[in-house]
A and B are shown apart, each in its own frame.
Chain A
Amino acid sequence: MILAGMTWWGTAAAGALEEALPGLADRAFPAKQQAVQALAATGDSRALPILEALLAGDLYTREAADPPLVLARPSAAGLRLSDPLTGVDLGEVERATVKKIPLNNALRTALRGGIAALTLSSPDPAVRSRAAKDLMRDPSPESVTALRARLEQEQDAAVRTTLVLAVAVADLRVGTPEARLAAVATLEGSLYPEARNGLTTLIANETDADVKAAAERALTAIDARLTWNARAETLFFGLSLGSVLVLAAIGLAITFGVMGVINMAHGELMMLGAYTTYLVQQALPGWVDYSLFVAIPAAFIVSGLFGIAIERTVIRFLYGRPLETLLATFGISLILQQLVRTTISAQNVAVENPSWMSGSLQINPALALTYNRLYILAFALLVFVALLLILKRTALGLQVRAVSQNRAMARAMGVRSARVDALTFGLGAGIAGVAGVALSQLTNVGPNMGQAYIIDSFMVVVFGGVGNLWGTLIGGMTLGVANKFMEPWAGAVLAKILVLVFIILFIQKRPRGLFPQRGRAADG
């Protein structure tokens, strides 16, 4: 059989790869091991799939055929064969006609090392990084050598970082005490989980007191950094929750601040915004990545028009009766919920995330910020600034502020307060719709989704101070962050309860919120 192989390989151009390959078919395990190492040493990229196939059990030998080594994949008739070097299809055969190359543990180790060494020299940096990480998991003196050799010539900075880490982690396991000490020094402060694991294992097994002490110091340093990273992550989650609260509350802050009416259907206007996102996606299949840019103005318009309709048909008859307004708008919220339930579905609908919103921004190995939260945070700030500009720079904004400060006087000055009321309400509702677009990217979209937000957003408005947009921003962010920081030790539900209790106690001290409107007008 070897002979047959020789003739076949002999026909090909002689190379290191071709020379080493027949060894894989040898019956003796040591011979196969040697062949693996020889293949790995070639650095030839064609060797990699062969070694991987061997490890996966897909490499077979066959009698009296050329080539004698074949790749086999299961097929209808039994196995479909192909040439491991050229990939040429060799037809289907029955299982009995070929023989799988058997493996043992030593061979497997050699294979893994060989694969790693080969991948370390892959042209793709991502593959090299992964290989270095693989080697870290089960290091041997050989792999350390391979890693060091690679480090010498590595150009890519990210891969170098991984290689340095891998060398150090491998050294912890297999290096001399000096090398271990040096490795500990390298790993100090590293946030890779492998570094921490390596140090923990080292401390458990280390006999050298100096190395052990150094390792313990390094571990403490890592843990301290991890703690800070965990806090940073909590802060990020808090700001993310806060941005949702701000988005939800800011529209409410406008309608409540200007008109003094609590719109209990505010959450449902958000829900309409989320459903608009869904419908836009349905209408533009295959445009998921861009549909949000259509959905945002669409949701603003849909919810805004609903808002204006609500104001014109119900709320305007109830000015000066805030409690009745609360009840009537609650009724509207029930109707809107049922409307969605009967026209679309009582079940949650699936809103897709565009690809640019998936994935995360890796700040360091222990801290990743997901893009969807990051974008929504930025979006919330954008909406806030836009609203601030509308109120400060436009004619509508001036009229809105005038009406909110002194309705009678504004009317006397010729402000058409009815029109301002309708537009203000439309603006607040439209922003609720836009908030709904953002929410659709974070939570389930269903008929009941709005209900959860009315109490929260009202709390934000009360906490921040009515009629003050900055108060809403800071109030929302503060509550979001407080909630997330309390969650680890209190649990999500208790954290929410504690925030509610806190707000009830807070308004004892500051009934008008963090940033109250002051002056005589605020009394009474």
Chain B
Amino acid sequence: MGIVKALKGDTGGQVMLAVLLVVTLVVPVLNLAVPETSFWHVSTYTVTLLGKYLTYALLAVAVDLVWGYLGILSLGHGAFFALGGYAMGMYLMRQIGDRGVYGDPILPDFMVFLNWKELPWFWNGFDMFWFAALMAILVPGVLAYVFGYLAFRSRVTGVYLSIITQALTYALMLAFFRNEMGFGGNNGLTDFKELLGFDLQSDGTRAGLFMASAAALALGYLACRMIVTSRLGRVAVAIRDAESRTRFIGYRVERVKVAIFAFSAMLAGVAGALYVPQVGIINPGEFSPLNSIELVIWVAVGGRATLYGAVVGALMVNYGKSTFTAMFPEAWLFALGALFVLVTLLLPRGIAGWLPARRAG
């Protein structure tokens, strides 16, 4: 019932979810059941690539929720994504056990290398999947809550807020580069072996992760739709368009903001947690401000305040990036830079703006 209502009138979303469902069912079959020699075979590389794109799409949906509907241009969502990824990475590190280069049953290789004698306290519990999964959601959520509470309470808005979110991810990047932080420093966490007992290199696990990413995207999308179609979603748009007016009719603007911001950060954390086992590494580069701002342009390309546009934009830009960097590695930054300029100048409503006009929010 809730789902039906959430998707009412959301043609773009219905189409997107239908395509997603078909792809999720067909791709693993083409990968696992169709012989490699066949024209219809989909390589495991492609499956993993698609899975990666889907986690990006979920991240983009999270950004669109706060940017499109709440007017908060977060340039720090990459940080929440990376934190979720690190939580998952820590679990995967602990799963390596004594199969690391140094063969220490408890300590990950980089700690042995740094001559550490015991596990730092914050690594406790990450040998359990449920705990790591919880942390992948909670850590970004709590960070976003605290950060949002401080920022929104003092009514920091607009470009100020954007730059401060950028400073947040920048500070985290610097911190995670430090070996003393206990997250593998420069190299990050890598050399993962298995997840919940499944070999991460096997085709079946890859297909499973792909399907999990698709499911997470679908669920995240539906959750966001439910929010934006609720009265809270209308309050969010009201805040975006006339913040002080919303206060005068009795809404606690900063609480609405912090709640949605924290929820969005949790979604980003989930995306990060799904991303890491598929790419096999998480390092501080994921916190780089460039990543966070690049994902904003995915949303802008797709069309903000549509949610499905974020999915389309994330898939298109990343597909473009993959093919572009393969063909003209030199020119990618030109293309990306031009994309930023052209989309903001000529396509303020993104690709979704080409579709038959439909009211946002």
Q: Which residues of A contact B (CB under 8 A)?
A: 256, 260, 262, 314, 317-318, 321-328, 330-335, 337-338, 341-342, 451, 455, 458-459, 462, 491, 493-494, 496-497, 500-501, 503-505, 507-509, 511, 524
Contact = CB atoms under 8 A, between A and B. Distances in A.
B167 A493 contact: no
A324 B299 CA distance: 12
Contact of A335 (B162, B164, B334): B334
A332 B151 CA distance: 28
Interface in B156-172: 156, 158-160, 162-164, 166-168, 170-171
Contacts of B340: 327-328, 330-332, 334
A325 B340 CA distance: 10
Given A328-B340, A508-B153, A455 B296 contact: no
B34 interface: no
B289 interface: yes
A320 to B, nearest CB: 12
B178 interface: yes
Nearest to A503: B167
Given A327-B344, A338-B337, A507 B174 contact: no
Given A262-B163, A331-B336, A333-B337, A318 B171 contact: no
Nearest to B339: A331
Q: Which of B155, B167, B289, B297 has the most CB of A within 10 A?
A: B167
Contacts, number: 118
A326 B162 contact: yes
A225 B344 CA distance: 59
B345 A335 contact: no
A494 B172 CA distance: 10
A505 B150 CA distance: 8
Interface string B277-314: 00000000000010001001100100000000000000
12 contacts: A260-B159, A262-B162, A327-B340, A328-B344, A331-B337, A331-B341, A335-B333, A335-B337, A341-B330, A493-B174, A500-B168, A500-B171
Given A331-B339, A500-B168, 17 more contacts: A327-B293, A327-B300, A327-B340, A328-B341, A332-B337, A332-B341, A334-B334, A341-B330, A462-B160, A500-B170, A504-B147, A504-B150, A504-B164, A508-B153, A508-B154, A509-B154, A511-B155
Contacts of B171: 496-497, 500-501
Contacts of A334: 333-334, 336-337, 340
B177 interface: yes
Nearest to A491: B178
Nearest to A339: B334
Contacts of B155: 511
Contacts of A331: 297, 336-341, 344
A243 to B, nearest CB: 21
A459 B162 CA distance: 12
Interface string B155-198: 11011101110111011001101100000000000000000000
Given A496-B174, A500-B170, A504-B164, A322 B159 contact: yes
Contacts of A451: 289
Q: Which of A318, A332, A451, A497 has the most CB of B within 10 A?
A: A497
B262 to A, nearest CB: 17
A331 B290 CA distance: 11
Nearest to B166: A455
A462 B170 contact: no
A504 B339 contact: no
Contacts of B345: 314, 317-318, 328
A336 to B, nearest CB: 8
A323 B150 contact: no
A328 B162 CA distance: 14
B315 interface: no
A463 to B, nearest CB: 11
B348 interface: yes
Interface of B: 73, 147, 150-151, 153-156, 158-160, 162-164, 166-168, 170-171, 174-175, 177-178, 244, 289, 293, 296-297, 300, 330-331, 333-334, 336-341, 343-345, 348
Q: Which of B151, B244, B333, B334 has the most CB of A within 10 A?
A: B333
A323 B334 contact: no
A499 to B, nearest CB: 9
Contacts of A341: 330, 333
A318 B343 CA distance: 12
A507 B162 contact: no
Contacts of B343: 327
A322 B170 CA distance: 21
A263 B167 CA distance: 16
A323 B344 CA distance: 10
A511 B154 contact: yes
Contacts of B331: 338
A260 to B, nearest CB: 8
Contacts of B174: 493, 496-497
B68 to A, nearest CB: 12
A160 B286 CA distance: 61
Contacts of B348: 324
A497 B284 CA distance: 15
Q: Which of B147, B289, B296, B344 has the most CB of A within 10 A?
A: B344
Contact of B156 (A262, A327, A332, A511): A511
A-B complex: 7 closest residue pairs judged by Cβ atoms:
A331-B340, A334-B337, A335-B337, A338-B333, A328-B344, A331-B337, A331-B341
Contacts of B153: 508
Q: Which of B153, B160, B331 has the most CB of A within 10 A?
A: B160
A458 B163 contact: yes
B159 A262 contact: yes
A347 to B, nearest CB: 14
Given A323-B73, A335-B333, A335-B337, A507 B296 contact: no
A323 B333 contact: no
B170 A326 contact: no
B164 A330 contact: no
Contacts of B163: 262, 455, 458-459, 462
A507 B154 contact: yes
A324 B244 CA distance: 22
B333 A337 contact: yes
Nearest to A265: B337
A256 B159 CA distance: 10
Contact of A455 (B178, B289, B336): B289
Given A317-B345, A326-B162, A342-B330, A500 B296 contact: no
B150 A330 contact: no
A338 to B, nearest CB: 4
Contacts of A262: 159, 162-163
A335 B171 CA distance: 25
A318 B347 CA distance: 12
